Amino acid sequence: MTFKHTTDRSTALSRRSLLAGAAASIPLFAIGTGRARAAEFSFKVATGQSLTQPINARLEQACARIQQASGGRLEMKFFPASQLGSDTDLITQVRSGGIEFLNIAGSVISTVAAGAAITNVGFAFADYDQAWRGVDGAIGEYVKKQIEKAGLQIASKASDNSFRQITSATKPIKNPADLKDYRIRVPVSPIFTSLFSSLGANPTSINFNELYTALQTKLVDGQENGLVAIDSGKLYEVQKYVSETNHIWDPFWLVGNRRAIARLPADLQEIVGREFDRASLEQRDDVAKLNGSLKAQLSAKGLVFEAADKPAFRSALTASGFYKTWKDKFGAEAWSVLESVTGELA
């Protein structure tokens, strides 16, 4: 049985109430609410995202709503910010049933469901309109099937892990030549490694919870993430330049253990799907508002924003064979689904 999805939205929180509220209201231990009666089911929901990432506040709220709407039949324990391990640890736990739900970037879940990386093709999506049309439509359906093959189930609509920008401690990255032999952190994801290798860099895969230390100790000189992650992870303390490349858009997927979900009666499945969908849609609005204000705020914290030559990066990827390689890896069906949204990729 699959979840029913809804498109209801509620008013997004302001940046101040969202981030301050998330930091204040999500303690460094499991979050639970009072039960009206003894729970029939007790599920764990985990994330690897920093506490002030909007997805944590929204999932905390969803867990409370699920527990309340179920009359206490379904207890939802929330473990944000890598409390139960790194991203790779959490993937192992959700597949084994040690945790029931995990919020994870598409780039990272692709390590066990390779097709999920279809959203991570470099410079594929022109804007958010394309990205949401894709993951709420044909691309999302394709990714859902790929994740199901890994024994997991998508539990809600995708949320926003943002368009990604390159940051650097040593120099601005404006064109592909600036990346030659450059030591850059990427997620634990083959397509990210391939993209930056194709651009001449030396990528190193490091989990996000280890990223700040890796930058601080100069294990790597730079990294790439969305502005929300750069801010929430305080990467501005160990980086100087931001190159506005928009080189990859990466969704968050809330994935669930299929056996655990199947144990829930239909009415509880409906509640879970409804409330997690609501959390995802509200988080999209939160990130859209943050993206509108974060550039100025990060500039005030010392980051220097630089324009990037996006056509030059895409041309370099074409010349290196990046697109041909990944078209062959994904196969004609997946590539056709992608190009039905993005238009033809070189």
Q: For every one of its 346 residues, what pLDDT tens digit does the chain have, with 9 covering 90 and above?
A: 445 444 443 333 444 444 445 444 444 344 444 444 689 999 999 999 989 999 999 999 999 999 999 999 999 999 999 999 999 999 999 999 999 999 999 999 999 999 999 999 999 999 999 999 999 999 999 999 999 999 999 999 999 999 999 999 999 999 999 999 999 999 989 999 999 999 999 999 999 989 999 999 999 999 999 999 999 999 999 999 999 999 999 999 999 999 999 999 999 999 999 999 999 999 999 999 999 999 999 999 999 999 999 999 999 999 999 999 999 999 999 999 999 999 999 7
Residue 254's beta-bridge partner residues?
A: 103
This prediction's pTM: 0.86
- Do 333 and 272 form a contact (C-beta atoms < 8 A)? no
Q: Which residues contact 149 (CB under 8 A, 6 or more apart)?
A: 113, 115
At the fourth CATH level, the homologous superfamily of domain 165-247+300-330 is Bacterial extracellular solute-binding protein, family 7 (3.40.190.170)
User: Which CATH code fits 15-161+251-290?
Assistant: 3.40.190.170
* CA–CA separation, 309 and 3 (whole Å): 42
* CA–CA separation, 198 and 320 (whole Å): 6
Assign residue 99 a region: left if phi > 0, alpha if psi is -120 to 50, beta otherwise?
Answer: beta
- Do 74 and 235 form a contact (C-beta atoms < 8 A)? no
**Same fold: 15-161+251-290 with 165-247+300-330:** yes
pLDDT the model gives residue 118? 98
pLDDT the model gives residue 156? 98
pLDDT the model gives residue 37? 64
Measured at the CA of 12, the angle between CA 6 and CA 16, to 5 degrees, comes to 155
* CA–CA separation, 17 and 19 (whole Å): 6
pLDDT the model gives residue 3? 58
pLDDT the model gives residue 181? 97
Q: Which amino acid belongs to residue 273?
A: G
In the chain, domain spans: 15-161+251-290, 165-247+300-330
Residue 114: which of 149, 81, 82, 86 has the closest Cα? 149
Residue 161: which of 62, 280, 244 has the closest Cα? 280
pLDDT the model gives residue 199? 98
pLDDT the model gives residue 38? 83
pLDDT the model gives residue 1? 47
* CA–CA separation, 215 and 101 (whole Å): 30
